[in-house]
Structure 1
Amino acid sequence: MVWIPQISDLVDRLGAAELADALRDPAAATVPVALDDPEAGRISGVVVLEAWLAVQDTWRAEHGADIEEVAVTLGERRAVGEWVVRLEGTDGERIGLPVAAAVDLASTLPVRIHHSRLPLLGRHVVRRPMVPPDPLAHPSDVVGAYKAALDAGDTAAVVAAFGPDGSFRGPADDTSRHTGAKELTELYDSFFSAGGGIPLKLCTVTEDGTRSAFEYICDRWGGADLPPQPGLAVCARGGDGLIVSARVYDDVEAPVE
């Protein structure tokens, strides 16, 4: 339940001014608009969208939400935005919730929001996939190698895709990062302790030369079958061409400690 008003600006950057205006003021919309949110699910129609955005404005104010931009990956017809929303958590402490959105002008569901609900509810929530897998979706160069190593459960190959100071940040806490070969090795060894790799099914890939952002469906982790559920990951390359940062946005509950 986290709407990022800056998503409208991202739509503008893709040249879809009418869609951007519809997201800002649904009552004046001249084009159809649909989005998918982790809590509300599919939202479409002027009345429903207008009411939902009003609830979101109130929710952000009540939780003292501040929004910090992390990065934007801009393709030709698709863009992925990343933010950290800093707000009051369930225990009154300030938390940082990572949120991403894919804006896809070629889709009947042009705005897809990704974030974990663990920091908000204290538990994971299974969510239905939003777009189907695409067998032609493949990230390029080192990110493709990282994805293959993740599928195979090969810790050494995963860590080799990262630069010396490369880091991984999970979906539930923006302060929890694993940095450097030692921490990454321990992290991915734990991930693969469930009996194998994490064979993500890619749905979209958006690249800008520096970052590769990919939406996926996760339905298996090691030897465990999972309910199919969506996610989004962004890998940023450093000057050496290796991954300097991997960031994940999903609500998948790993079958590992």
Structure 2
Amino acid sequence: MVWIPQISDLVDRLGAAELAGALRDPAAATVPVALDDPEAGRISGVGVLEAWLAVQDTWRAERKAEIEEVATTFAEGRAVGEWVVHMEGEDGGRAGLPVAAAVDLASALPVRIHHSRLPLGGRHVVRRPMVPPDPSAHASDVVGAYLTALGAGDTAAVVAAFAPDGSFRGPAADAYRHTGTKELTELFDAFFSAGGGIPLTLCTVTEDGTRSAFEYVVDRWGGIGLPPQPGLAVCARGGDGLIVSARVYDDVDAPVG
């Protein structure tokens, strides 16, 4: 359960001032508002939203949370924001939780928050998909090639989509990052050891020429079926057109070590 107050700023930048105001002060809302959170699920209605945001304020204060902006991707009435929430853990140490949000003005669910529950509750939690798959959604150029290779379980083709110093960061912690050809090869070999690739069914794609942000549903990992569940990932391209950074936000319990 992580609310990022800067999400309201993304809504403002998309030109939806009334919705942004409702997120900042639900009691003064003049338009309906709905969002989906990994723990609380669907949140709508003035009273429910106001109470939930108050709990979030308390949580951030208790955890001494500091929010670091990573990137924002805008395109065609949609924005995807990425942050790392640096917070105090149960042992008193600091930890970084990656969080992303899709702001989609054309959707009946205009704010969709994505992050893993593992660092917060010690376990993965299956979450129902929030938006339906879109057969017309596709990622362009090298990101499309990466997704095809990921679904096929082809380590060499996956790694070829990355720059030599490119990196992949998983959802559970900001420290979970693999960089360079050797580390990426070892990572994806391990990913594909469950009997094949990881096909992602795309729901939305938001591209700005540098980054491709895509929401997806995953229901299979190699030869193992999974309950359908949502996720979001962002791939950033470098000057040579290859992927310099891939960042994942989901709560899938990988069937590999």
TM-score (norm 1): 0.99
> Partner of 2:220 in structure 1?
220
Q: Distance in 1 between matches of 2:160 and 2:90?
A: 38
> Partner of 1:250 in structure 2?
250
> Partner of 1:108 in structure 2?
108
> Partner of 2:127 in structure 1?
127
Q: Distance in 2 between matches of 1:244 and 1:90?
A: 33
In the alignment, structure 2 segments of 5+ residues that lack a partner are: none
Aligned length: 257
Superimposed CA distance per residue, residues 139-174 of structure 1 (whole angstroms, 9 cap, x where no aligned partner): 000000000000100000000000011000000110
In the alignment, structure 1 segments of 5+ residues that lack a partner are: none
> Partner of 1:22 in structure 2?
22
- Letter of the aligned partner of 2:44 in structure 1? S
Superimposed CA distance per residue, residues 162-201 of structure 1 (whole angstroms, 9 cap, x where no aligned partner): 0011000000110121001100000000000000000111
- Letter of the aligned partner of 2:11 in structure 1? V
Q: Distance in 1 between matches of 2:90 and 2:219?
A: 29
Q: Distance in 2 between matches of 1:100 and 1:17?
A: 21
Q: Distance in 2 between matches of 1:178 and 1:63?
A: 27
> Partner of 1:76 in structure 2?
76
What SS is found at the alignment partner of 2:39? coil
Superimposed CA distance per residue, residues 54-99 of structure 1 (whole angstroms, 9 cap, x where no aligned partner): 1100110011000000000011210000000000123322100000
Query: Is the 1:166–1:244 contact (alpha carbons within 8 Å) kept by the matching residues of 2?
Result: yes
Query: Is the 1:90–1:120 contact (alpha carbons within 8 Å) kept by the matching residues of 2?
Result: no
Q: Distance in 2 between matches of 1:215 and 1:245?
A: 17
What SS is found at the alignment partner of 2:199? coil
What SS is found at the alignment partner of 1:159? helix
- Letter of the aligned partner of 2:94 in structure 1? R
What SS is found at the alignment partner of 2:231? strand
What SS is found at the alignment partner of 1:100? strand
Q: Distance in 2 between matches of 1:227 and 1:205?
A: 22
Moved >2 Å (runs of 4+): none
Superimposed CA distance per residue, residues 92-131 of structure 1 (whole angstroms, 9 cap, x where no aligned partner): 2210000000000000000000000111111111111101
Q: Distance in 2 between matches of 1:15 and 1:190?
A: 44
- Letter of the aligned partner of 2:253 in structure 1? E
- Letter of the aligned partner of 2:187 in structure 1? L
- Letter of the aligned partner of 1:39 in structure 2? E
Q: Distance in 2 between matches of 1:144 and 1:81?
A: 21
> Partner of 1:164 in structure 2?
164
Superimposed CA distance per residue, residues 189-215 of structure 1 (whole angstroms, 9 cap, x where no aligned partner): 000000000011110000000000000
> Partner of 2:136 in structure 1?
136
Q: How does 1:195-214 map to 2 (within 5 A)?
A: 195-214=195-214
- Letter of the aligned partner of 1:73 in structure 2? T
Query: Is the 1:90–1:121 contact (alpha carbons within 8 Å) kept by the matching residues of 2?
Result: no
> Partner of 2:232 in structure 1?
232
